[in-house]
A and B are shown apart, each in its own frame.
Chain A
Amino acid sequence: MVILGFFALALTFYTLPKAYIIWRKAEKASLEEVYTLEKSFYLVSTVVWLVLASRIVGMGLYWVANESLIPLIPGAMCQWGVHQAGHPYSWIDSILKLFVLFVYGIWLSLDMINRRCRGSPLMATLSKYFIFLVPLLLADSILDLAFYFKVEPVTVPCCRVVFTAENPLPCPFCFVFHDAPMFIAVIAGYGLSIATMIWGSVIKRYTYQPGELGEISKRALKMLANLSLIFAIIGTMALVPAIFQIMAPATPH
């Protein structure tokens, strides 16, 4: 996670000025300049793909890394303890991790459409959008680094302190990662379904464009809608065993 954090920071700083130049020049550029900008954008696009893909991989890896840290922190019985050890960065980072996929995916799906069109019609839009994404990318990477550099093998209070017999709420980490792990599939299924739906709703505005851009956007929108439905079905299918998982031990034997 630390390597991924540094990797994202380095590539973001490398791409930022290039994207800014493309954004600023693209609309007023002559035909010759547009060709140069397109070549430059191709590099920007590839690097941003690497950055965003690494952040999305990191999003899953984040929970795996936290789970693996539990035995190393005295007092931690679940990820609550790990979060306590990395407080306050850990909590902000976790909340951010739940939402970044929705935002990063918009850029990736728009770029997929752009790559399929001749003359990179979304070059300026994507460069501008990337610049707006930079604060989120920086926050995501810096919080990862801050969290993992803060975590030390110090004794921490875990969820036993908060989730006592009187508390009506369950510890979310114990619940999802241990007692009812099928809910991971439910959350992932529905999360991806909502994410693809959000990406689709952004792409929808380009379906009204004339020519190639409109046609490709329509095809992409159809594909995303199907994907969204498939993920929702996967989530629903996982929900049934997940509910059985919490009910089965309650049945007397």
Chain B
Amino acid sequence: MLKPKFLILILVVVAVIAASTTYYTLRTSLEIPEAENLVIEGIKVNREASVMTGVVVKNIGDKPVTVEKIVLIRVQTGLVVCSSTINPPAVIQPGETEIVRVSCELDHYYKKEGCDYKVLAVTSEGKAAKYVFGYPMTLEELGFAVE
């Protein structure tokens, strides 16, 4: 029979492997190839509720682009804060700018000094436009983002 000492060591090793594999699988799944014809120009926030209410995306290509999902990641931990499927998907025509509506809470815990967030606008082609912002924002950034 297996000695308790070895059983414990096996449990610890399995736990470390399980936790790190989950974490890196999660991070790898967020490494989506860059969408060349889509850019995120900014975000919209409800400052009172600390909620990201929209993502401003622009189609710089010559074909329509469909945004299917918005993912919000906290940069300092690499963990997803919010993942929202856009239903119906937002179709952005060439040269147009649109606000893709979502509702993602920006953490109150980090409200004092803030932290960084990364937004991914995932297209139907499996590519994504990326945008990094800090929240709470500077006054200039807020000028654009506040609703």
Q: Does A8 contact B (CB under 8 A)?
A: no
What does the 1/0 interface line of A105-133 toward B look like (CB < 8 Å)? 00000000000000000000000000000
Is A135 located at the chain interface by the 8 A CB criterion?
no
A174–B77 CB distance below 8 A: yes
B-side contacts of A251, CB under 8 Å: 83
Annotate A69-80 by CB proximity to B: 1 below 8 A, 0 otherwise: 011001111100
Tell me if A170 and B84 are in contact (CB < 8 A): no
How many angstroms between the C-alpha atoms of A174 and B82 in the bound complex?
Answer: 17
Is A207 interfacial (CB 8 A cutoff)? no
User: Which listed residue, B4, B74, B76, B83, touches A225 by the CB 8 Å rule?
Assistant: B4
- A249 in contact (CB, < 8 A): yes
Residues of B within 8 A of A51 (CB): none
Chain B interface, DSSP helix/strand/loop, else mixed? mixed
Nearest opposing residue in chain B for A224, CB measure: B4
Contact present for B83 and A246 (CB under 8 Å): no
Q: Which of B5, B71, B78 contacts A170 (CB 8 A)?
A: B78
Cα–Cα, bound, A56→B15 (Å): 25
User: A165 touching B116 by the CB < 8 A rule?
Assistant: yes
Q: Is the CB of B76 within 8 A of A232?
A: no
Q: How far is the CB of A30 from chain B (nearest CB, A)?
A: 42
Report which of B12, B27, B29, B115 forms a contact with A194, defined as CB distance below 8 A.
B12
For residue A77, which residues in chain B have a CB less than 8 angstroms away from its CB? 110, 112-115
* Residue from B18, B84, B132 with most neighbouring chain A CB atoms (10 Å): B18
Find out whether the CB atom of A160 lies under 8 angstroms from the CB atom of B115.
Answer: yes
Q: Which residue from A75, A226, A229 sits with its C-beta under 8 Å from B7? A: A229
The yes or no answer to B142 lying at the interface (CB within 8 A) is: no
A19 and B23 CA atoms in complex are apart in Å by 49
Contacts known (A160-B115, A163-B75, A232-B12); A243 close to B18, Cβ less than 8 A: yes
Residue B32 lies at the interface, judged by CB distance under 8 Å to chain A = no
One of A75, A168, A179 near B79 (C-beta < 8 A) = A179
Q: Is B69 an interface residue (CB 8 A)?
A: yes
Is A37 engaged at the interface, CB distance under 8 Å to the other chain?
A: no
| Total A-B residue contacts, Cβ distance less than 8 Å | 119
Partner of B77, one of A76, A179, A226, A242: A179
Shortest Cβ distance from B27 into A: residue: A168
Neighbour of B85 across the interface among A179, A243, A252, CB < 8 A: A252
Within 8 A of A (CB), among B68-111: 69, 71, 74-85, 107, 109-110
**Are A193 and B8 neighbours in the complex by a CB distance under 8 Å?**
yes
B134 and A235 contact, CB distance less than 8 A: no
Q: Are B11 and A232 in contact (CB under 8 A)?
A: yes
CB < 8 Å neighbour of B8 from A160, A168, A194: A194
Asked if B26 contacts A165 (CB within 8 A), the reply is: no
Contact with B along A156-175 (1 / 0, CB 8 A): 00111001110010110011
Since A165-B75, A194-B12 are in contact, a sample of 11 more A-B pairs with Cβ atoms closer than 8 Å, ordered by chain A residue number, is A168-B27, A170-B23, A178-B110, A179-B79, A180-B79, A186-B19, A193-B12, A228-B5, A232-B12, A235-B15, A252-B69
22 A-B contacts, Cβ less than 8 Å apart? A75-B113, A77-B115, A158-B113, A160-B76, A160-B116, A160-B134, A165-B116, A168-B78, A170-B77, A174-B74, A179-B79, A186-B19, A190-B11, A190-B15, A225-B4, A225-B5, A228-B8, A232-B7, A246-B22, A246-B79, A249-B79, A253-B85
